[in-house]
Structure 1
Amino acid sequence: MAEPNASSAGGGNSNFVALNATKTDEIRLDQVQLIGIAGKPDDMSALFRMARGDIMRVKVGERSQIGLIYEISEAGVVVTRADGNSIFIPPIPVG
């Protein structure tokens, strides 16, 4: 018999899941494309193309439509969201 106060298989309780399952201020990541990273290593910014074609520029520590910008480096951009971290890898130059 299961314990009445046991957490679900994922480790979260229903209150936590209810609060974090859906964030209305974040957009789907498959609608966003990292198009470039620029700046000095201690002051980098990243450029994203959004679903409608507009360009969004972000820096570390900023909260954006895609989540909290946690890290920007030459290797990519780490975004913290309600459902975990996501990593965007910069495009590979051709030519």
Structure 2
Amino acid sequence: MKILAVCGTGLGSSFMVEMNIKSVLKELNAEGIEVEHSDLGAAVPGAADFFIAGRDIAMGMKHLDNVIELNNLLDKKELKEKIEKALQEKGML
């Protein structure tokens, strides 16, 4: 399984979200999940099982399934809740 954190340029905020995703996965004892970050252009079908992005970027990701939209990129609690729910729905937790 792969999770891709996405932002406009693939540098700042997506890297920060990637680090937070890794931390959340560790808290959830979720193993075997690859996490990377990229720009919006690399977010194509098949690139990941889940795509995580802020609301502004997620609006441009309608062509993808399994987009997790964050209201606040800095809110680790929101990130954890949404990842936990998504993984439970996939039977990963």
Normalised by the size of structure 1, how large is the TM-score? Answer: 0.30
Normalised by the size of structure 2, how large is the TM-score? Answer: 0.30
Choose between structure 1 and 2 for higher RCO, CA contacts under 8 A separated by at least 6 residues.
2
- Structure having the higher Rg: 1
